[in-house]
Amino acid sequence: MATSGRTTFNLDLSDIMEEAYELCGLTMRSGYDYRTAKRALNLIFLEWQNKGLNLWKIEQATQTLTAGTSSYAAETSALEIVDAFIRTDSADTTKQFDQLLNRISRTQYNHQAKKLNQSKPTQFYVDKGTSGINIVLWSTPDDAQTYTLVYDYIKRIEDAGEPATNNADVPARYLPCLTYALALNVASKSMDALPRIPMLKMRYDELWNEVSDADRERASVRFVPDSSVYSNY
């Protein structure tokens, strides 16, 4: 049996828009149709970012800590901090040591009585603002050794942008879901396509459930008995 031998299929933005309009029984006819479809794609990307963890957008960053400084700006494209740890002896492959930081809430941080205490940090909280994310450490780093903050973060999905030959910043397996999401948006703005909304919504929900389940992180689970339960026997 002869096959193509290729696994590189993708759709550019114009392909996605065209397919979405066809699902609605419509045809893109004007520059306005293109502009509204591109705007809808950007809104869909923002909506997806609010739905939870996107494994394909997780990246890692590092920041050398300064003694006496507790707050550090995360990458400007960061939407959320997944986890963080303190690395020591990063230049020595035989001594490098990573210590996971415990994430706490702003309230828990505010309840720390001695915020200016300097030692190796053990906790952090994420301070989110309109201009970005700050990672606030406790304790405040001291100068006993060189500390490096290493953190995994969810990076924002890139905008649709220009030109229309760009690809969407999503894995190929998300393209069917993205196409139906756009079709649903287009149909909601067209009287002729309104009857198709229930079908489009049902199929979009099915596709979203499939890809979001596939994008979950798999890890082994091990249950360890609590020996303290048996200590009195």
Q: Give per-residue pLDDT as tens, 33-75.
A: 999 999 999 999 999 998 876 888 999 999 999 999 999 999 9
Taking residues 174-192, what's their average pLDDT? 96
pLDDT above 70 for 225: no
31: in domain = yes
Report the C-alpha gap between 65 and 143 in whole angstroms: 9
Q: Which residue type does 133 have?
A: I
- The whole-number pLDDT of residue 233 equals 54
For residue 12, give the DSSP letter.
B
pLDDT digits (tens, 9 = 90+) for 75-134: 999 999 999 999 998 888 888 999 999 999 999 999 988 888 999 999 999 999 888 999
- What is the spatial distance between Cα 165 and Cα 157, in angstroms, rounded to a whole number? 17
Is residue 43 located within the same domain as residue 113?
no
Answer yes or no: do 139 and 170 share one domain. Answer: no
Contacts (Cβ under 8 Å, ≥6 apart) of 165: 12, 13, 14
The pLDDT of residue 221 is above 60? no
Report CA torsion sign: 109, 110, 112, 116: positive
Q: Are residues 139 and 66 in the same domain?
A: yes
- Contacts of residue 142, defined as CB under 8 A and 6 or more positions apart, other chains included, come to 67, 118, 119, 120
pTM for this entry: 0.82
| Domain of 125, in residue numbers | 56-155
Please check the confidence at residue 218 and state whether its pLDDT lies above 70: no
Domain count, the chain: 2
- Residues 170, 123 within the same domain: no
